[in-house]
Structure 1
């Protein structure tokens, strides 16, 4: 009975947050079309209200740990669900995301992504996509901000292993900024698929930065090690372990 009730609450929550996205997107559109500040305010409002609704409707609390970067950095983040995007975006001052190209054509999301300065990537073109990404990022960084990239390229469910791609290292080298690794356990409560949302504490942890100048292979090894180790610890903290034993 409790599980069924939580599923119904989760369904109502999901309908609510996507309806709210549409409403906010329309209300802020005139402001966002003329200024990036308008787009930023709209997205910050959505992130904060969604976290509030998650706590109230389905029992998901959120917490940010570590030192949140405010300068120009590359953020290499573990990506388990839509929730970790929201928490990270709310925490940093001027977030810009590396995102799959198809999202630019999504109603509401696409327009605001463009206004925020997010960088689209054609994941099917691999090497060419990475080269274009670096060029587009260099162009976009005429304005300060924190560039968020997901080193594994997509959402990865808790407990699933997926290799880290070279794109984060290429950006790190090309931009010459520090890279801040970010760990999370958000997928334990807000999974990448399905309706059910589970109550608990979803954490995003900003870890010690990797300063510029580290060789590519060493950088990727360090990035993967610190993110995976800390994410495993955060998941274990809330009762989940990588092998699926709870």
Structure 2
């Protein structure tokens, strides 16, 4: 059954995502707000496919942040990169620059408000990241970052990337940490399994804290559900 579910998900989600992405430029003709709505609709489609084809659904608990915030989330799968767009009311998401090279999707993602970051983390790249994040804040949007920098397996807890502290200082917004155990069901390699994944909001962390303190608090908060299955 697990194999059948995975095959069905690939055929339906990826099969229908091709025309959905190719039609994205049409929604852009009606402005960024229309494109954001279109992208959120695609993310809802992904949620539907995960729920009804894979048997995976998300449970969100913990104190929901109000207003404009800086989300810092654990990253264990593709699932949260799309589901958090739905759940968090379309924040500007910080993602690796490589995604911009995907034909059409990369173009549409940048107009949605994806903020691209260079893995090399040069001073020039970091300045560009700060500029784009500042624009997102000034537009009234929240910002979502996966501060460990890459997708990890359950049990892995790498340190936060250096860019997190700079963004925290520049944005001057409360931080809403988000922990998850989705990696149990949606592994980095192998078949996805049915079940309920938990996404847990930690207590909001105020702006203005020293770097060592904010990094320690966020790292602890996004890893509260993490455990090594081995």
> Which runs of structure 1 show a deviation greater than 4 angstroms over 4 or more consecutive aligned residues?
none
Confirm or deny: 8 A CA contact 2:179 2:199 kept in the other structure.
Answer: yes
Shift of 1:70: 4.7
Whole-angstrom CA distance in 2 between matches of 1:59 and 1:52: 10
1:80-159 equivalences under 5 Å are 80-159=76-155
Please name the residue that 1:175 is paired with.
171
Match for residue 15 of structure 1 among 8, 11, 16: 11
Indicate yes or no: 2:224 matched with 1:219: no
SS of residue in 1 equivalent to 2:223: helix
SS of residue in 2 equivalent to 1:165: coil
SS of residue in 2 equivalent to 1:205: strand
- The number of residues matched between the two structures is 230
Confirm or deny: 8 A CA contact 1:65 1:205 kept in the other structure.
Answer: yes
Match for residue 209 of structure 1 among 185, 198, 204: 204
> Please, what TM-score do these two structures have when normalized by structure 2?
0.92
Unpaired runs of 5+ residues, structure 2, are none
SS of residue in 2 equivalent to 1:141: helix
Whole-angstrom CA distance in 2 between matches of 1:108 and 1:12: 25
Q: CA RMSD in A?
A: 1.8
1:38-77 equivalences under 5 Å are 38-77=34-73
> C-alpha offsets along residues 201-223 of structure 1, whole Å, 9 cap, x if unaligned?
01222221110111011110111
Confirm or deny: 8 A CA contact 1:182 1:206 kept in the other structure.
Answer: yes
Confirm or deny: 8 A CA contact 2:157 2:223 kept in the other structure.
Answer: no
Match for residue 164 of structure 1 among 154, 160, 164: 160
SS of residue in 2 equivalent to 1:211: coil
Match for residue 228 of structure 1 among 213, 220, 223: 223
> Please, what TM-score do these two structures have when normalized by structure 1?
0.86
> C-alpha offsets along residues 94-142 of structure 1, whole Å, 9 cap, x if unaligned?
3111111111121243122111211111111344422321122113333
Alignment CA distance shift 1:119-1:208 (3 Å): same
Whole-angstrom CA distance in 1 between matches of 2:106 and 2:100: 4
Match for residue 197 of structure 1 among 192, 201, 206: 192
SS of residue in 1 equivalent to 2:138: coil
Whole-angstrom CA distance in 2 between matches of 1:72 and 1:83: 23
